[in-house]
């Protein structure tokens, strides 16, 4: 069935006009939320503690655990209820970088911008070795080089050989026509993503082949970074016993291309490497952070409005835009509503997720534990009790609207709730959906789940998963705006007579939860 036909059928079956007319908008409460969110915001402090003070927050790393305990103690101080780190099950090894020095020592000295891959081995002390170039994925070249690779640092080259000048700005905001034409953000289909798994498996086999040749380290190029940004989000495995034995190092595109040109001109290149990484197997279970403002209506207080973002990050920056930004906003939403002493009819719950970056593990397991199995679609009684889940995970940009996640029945409700924020540039209520982040695990078990549309700023051009994803690349005024708009959405969802209307249970994306 075409989407247009589906929408027509929905239109015929839902009394939208009645919903829109009756929809209550509490303008007095919105004024109070705006005052607290825009003029008494604590977004800068929250973001500072999540990023600068906690450090990188790779799931189960010391930085992640620091952030978990800071969020728990802070939300307790604010007077929120049922605040806890809630375990969701097995994740894997705790890992962190304790030292990373990578420099070219021949033909001359040059310090590289470099990071080990996630869960990479260290070097067991300083290492100095000649660099050999092998085309990435070329097993026959590796087999042919054979014993000559022993003790060498292998750099994996590809066809990418130059960077063009950046004529476009890194950061953008949506203009009116961008918003009007926006269909989806960061969404990929099964057909686009599934072949990638096979490519990845073949690549892992190739890297194992190199390890079997006794190489000292493997150097890879950053995938798409430039101007010193390194998108350090490569991993092999985080399960205990599956870690690679040879250090894998990602270097900036510029550093990589220089070495590639030198070797191409038959100039010998040597690297000095000293990497220390720490593996800790003592606690392989992971937690999300949960806190609530209890509902007060005797009939509705068992129902939930849930909000969240992911607390875990990659490790070369401090995960500021991905996703301390989302956690800052969602914590600030709770602070605003608690400070205003709202008495919501339904319970408002925030959950800050772990394990998102490796595959939505925190939210997947939370949904499975409380609401239903995302694979089998067998739901628990709690699934009926959730009115909505709202997520924020598209960087530091202000809220420009919301995607309906193919749930046309909420369009007129959301349009009414968005209307008071036109002056703050939040206007769009768009069909379509967005991915891949934690609202998806709710959506897939039939709970109305939504991701807000945000200005991109420099999320995909500069910060997403990179060493530049640090506090300085946050836009605090944007986070204040987002907290204000979302606090109002959450409040109105909690006060509404009815839960939000639901769409039919979506079909599973079979590849997404493979291996869970």
The site for Zn ion (CB under 5 A) is made up of 322-323, 393
Smallest distance from Zn ion to CB 97, Å: 20
Residue closer to Zn ion by CB (options 322, 509) is: 322
Residue closer to Zn ion by CB (options 322, 408) is: 322
Residue closer to Zn ion by CB (options 312, 332) is: 312
Cα separation, 254 vs 478, in Å, equals 32
Q: What is the DSSP string of 235-290?
A: BS--STT---SS-EEEE-HHHHHHHHHHHHTT---EEEEEEEEEEE-S--EEEEEE
Q: Report which DSSP code applies to 406.
A: T
Half-sphere exposure (Cβ direction) of 143: Cα atoms closer than 13 Å: 6
Burial class (CB in 10 A: 0-12, 13-18, 19+), 176: exposed
Sheet containing strand 399-403, edge to edge, reads 81-90, 285-293, 347-353, 304-310, 386-391, 449-454, 399-403, 428-430
Smallest distance from Zn ion to CB 253, Å: 22
Query: Is 378 strand, coil or helix?
Result: coil
Cα separation, 130 vs 256, in Å, equals 15
Smallest distance from Zn ion to CB 393, Å: 4
Smallest distance from Zn ion to CB 355, Å: 11
Residue closer to Zn ion by CB (options 233, 393) is: 393
Cα separation, 220 vs 248, in Å, equals 7
Smallest distance from Zn ion to CB 379, Å: 26
Cα separation, 347 vs 72, in Å, equals 18
Smallest distance from Zn ion to CB 2, Å: 32
Cα–chain center distance at 76: 25
Residue closer to Zn ion by CB (options 156, 230) is: 230
Residue closer to Zn ion by CB (options 393, 458) is: 393
Give the bridge partners for 353, in sequence order.
310
Residue closer to Zn ion by CB (options 256, 459) is: 459
Residue closer to Zn ion by CB (options 96, 322) is: 322
Smallest distance from Zn ion to CB 319, Å: 8
The answer to whether 453 and 428 have CB atoms below 8 angstroms apart is yes
Residue closer to Zn ion by CB (options 322, 443) is: 322
The answer to whether 54 and 69 have CB atoms below 8 angstroms apart is no
Cα separation, 370 vs 239, in Å, equals 25
Smallest distance from Zn ion to CB 509, Å: 18
CA distances from 515 to 186, 358, 439, 512 (A): 23, 12, 20, 9
Smallest distance from Zn ion to CB 418, Å: 23
Residue closer to Zn ion by CB (options 323, 461) is: 323
Q: Report which DSSP code applies to 227.
A: T
Smallest distance from Zn ion to CB 356, Å: 6
Query: Is 429 strand, coil or helix?
Result: strand
Q: Report which DSSP code applies to 117.
A: P
């Amino acid at each position: 069935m075409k989407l247009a036909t589906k929408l027509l059928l929905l239109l015929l079956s839902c009394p939208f006009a009645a919903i829109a007319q009756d929809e209550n908008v509490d303008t007095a409460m919105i004024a109070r939320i705006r005052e607290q969110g825009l003029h008494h915001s604590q977004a800068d402090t929250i973001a500072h503690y999540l990023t600068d003070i906690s450090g990188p927050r790779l799931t189960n790393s010391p930085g992640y655990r620091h952030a978990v305990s800071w969020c728990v103690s802070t939300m307790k101080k604010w007077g929120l209820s049922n605040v806890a780190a809630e375990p969701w099950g097995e994740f894997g090894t705790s890992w962190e970088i304790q030292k990373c020095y990578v420099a070219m020592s021949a033909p001359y000295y040059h310090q590289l911008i470099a990071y080990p891959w996630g869960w990479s081995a260290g070097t067991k002390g300083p290492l100095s070795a000649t660099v050999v170039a092998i085309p990435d994925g070329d097993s026959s070249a590796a087999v042919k080089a054979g014993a000559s690779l022993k003790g060498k640092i292998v750099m994996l080259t590809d066809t990418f050989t130059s960077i063009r000048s950046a004529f476009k700005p890194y950061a953008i905001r949506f203009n009116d026509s961008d918003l009007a034409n926006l269909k989806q953000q960061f969404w990929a289909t099964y057909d686009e993503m599934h072949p990638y798994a096979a490519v990845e498996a073949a690549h892992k086999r190739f890297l194992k082949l190199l390890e079997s040749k006794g190489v000292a380290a493997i150097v890879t190029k950053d995938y798409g970074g430039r101007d010193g940004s390194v998108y350090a989000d490569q991993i092999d495995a985080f399960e205990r016993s599956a870690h690679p034995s040879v250090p894998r190092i990602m270097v900036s595109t510029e550093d990589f291309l220089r070495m590639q040109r030198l070797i191409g001109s038959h100039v010998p290149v040597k690297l000095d490497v000293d990497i220390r990484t720490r593996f800790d197997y003592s606690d392989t279970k992971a937690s999300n952070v949960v806190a609530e403002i209890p509902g007060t209506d005797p009939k509705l207080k068992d129902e939930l409005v849930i909000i969240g973002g992911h607390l875990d990050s990659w490790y070369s920056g401090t995960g500021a835009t991905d996703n301390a930004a989302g956690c800052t906003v969602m914590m600030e939403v709770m602070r605003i509503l608690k400070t205003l002493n709202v008495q919501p009819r339904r319970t408002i719950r925030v959950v800050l997720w772990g394990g998102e970056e490796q595959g939505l593990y925190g939210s997947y397991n939370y949904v499975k534990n409380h609401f239903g199995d995302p694979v089998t679609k067998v739901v628990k009684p709690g699934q009926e009790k959730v009115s909505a889940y709202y997520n924020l995970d598209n960087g530091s940009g202000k809220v420009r609207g919301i995607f309906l996640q193919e749930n046309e029945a909420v369009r007129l409700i959301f349009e009414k709730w968005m209307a008071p924020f036109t002056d703050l540039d939040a206007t769009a209520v768009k069909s379509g959906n967005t991915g891949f982040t934690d609202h998806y695990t709710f959506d897939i078990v039939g709970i109305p789940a939504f991701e807000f549309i945000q200005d991109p700023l420099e999320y995909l051009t500069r910060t997403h998963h990179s060493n530049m994803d640090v506090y300085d690349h946050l836009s605090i005024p944007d986070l204040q705006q987002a907290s204000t708009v979302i606090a109002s959405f959450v409040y109105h969802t909690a006060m509404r007579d009815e839960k939000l209307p639901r769409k039919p249970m979506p079909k599973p994306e079979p590849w997404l939860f493979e291996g869970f």
